[in-house]
Structures are given as structure tokens and as C-alpha cells.
Structure 1
């Protein structure tokens, strides 16, 4: 059973490219959760977390380029939200590197809430512009 399920009817934003990238983020987050559940070493979790960070950065650039192409009027605000997420993730990475107690679980639940809330609450706002 997945930690967080990709549900097209809930998370589709109207762009096949963005939907596929969002689905990939779900897959990576589920791998992190599964590794944590099987008590994988911190180094393994860090590698998967790095993959989330790397793919999210790639996705943000693609998403911002797509929004610029369709003249999405809220692009500047959306970029600020992405920048804030990058900062949060950077802080979590530092905590993981330091070995802070409970950080693995904190990351797991942050990733789930970030991804689901961001797609449903922020990304779906550009849907009318990509149709």
C-alpha cells in the first residue's frame, strides 16, 4: 500500500507533462516512505530525499516555464511559493545531515502534505490557462 496515492481525478492539473512529473514525485515520496518503514539506514533515506529535492527543482523550472508560456498571471507568486519550498527542503536536509532526532518521520510527513496541498491548492489554479 502506498503512503500517498496518485489519484488523477484529484491531482490532474491539465498539463500531461506536469501531471507526469507530479506522479513521479508521488513515486519518489512513496519510495522514501517505504525505505523509512523498513528502517533503511539514514544514508539510504538521504539518497532518496536528495532525489526528491533534485526532481522537485527540475519540476519547478519546467512548471514555471510552462506557466510563462501560457501567460499565467499568478506566476510571480507561484515562483515565491517554490522558493519557500526549496528553503524548507534545504532546512530539512540540514536536519537530516545533522542526524536530528525524528527528522526522517518529519520529512516523510512534510513531503506528503507539501505535495498534496501544493498540487490541490496552488497548481490547480493554473489549470484554466493550460486548456
Structure 2
């Protein structure tokens, strides 16, 4: 028999996966449907109750203004997961600096979400 926390873990894992696969989201007139999967995603897994960074930090050009804080070691790199276009467009120099800070860099937002789910829920 599945206990309540196992059911919650399975539900949470499914929700995390769904974030990367939003589809058929209606436009203003509900005639057109759009895929709404994230182009870029940044996740912080931390015991802290506050984010500690501007989690709405994406700019119109797709850049993330808090990236320098990760590169400079101001934020704990091992707690951050970056995925998608933001990673694919990074220079090799920045990727290496972030890797040196133990930031998780993954090209695919969907793969990132799967790995975060695994890390966070332990394979639920």
C-alpha cells in the first residue's frame, strides 16, 4: 500500500515534468494554441526559505541578470540548475566558470526538470 508521502512525491514529480511540457495553451481568443514549454529555466534547490536572488531576473533578450553573481561565487553554485537556451548560448568561458562553481548546466529544460525531480524527490 502506498503511503501519503509516496503519493505526494509521485504527484510532485508529474507536476515538475508537466512544467516542461505545457502544450495547447490558448491565446486571447482561444482559437490558436501554443506550446508553452520553457526556453530557459533556472532552479535553485536550497533549504533556504527565500530565493536569495531575483527569480524574475530574465531580460527581454533572454539573458539572466543574476548570472554574474553565480560566476563570481556570491551565490552557492551547487544549488543552481540552469537549462535550455540560456545554457546553449553561453560562451565556453562562462560555462567553465559556472562548472567550476558546481552549477548544473543542461541544454534541455525538460532534461533539467527530470534531473531536478530525481535530485529533489529521489526517483519518485
| TM-score interval for Structure 1 and Structure 2 normalised by the shorter chain | 0.3 to 0.5
- Could you tell me the TM-score, scaled by structure 2's length? 0.33
More helix by share: 1
| Greater RCO, 1 or 2 (C-alpha within 8 Å, sep 6+) | 1
TM-score (norm 1): 0.31
Structure with bigger strand share is: 2
Larger radius of gyration: 2
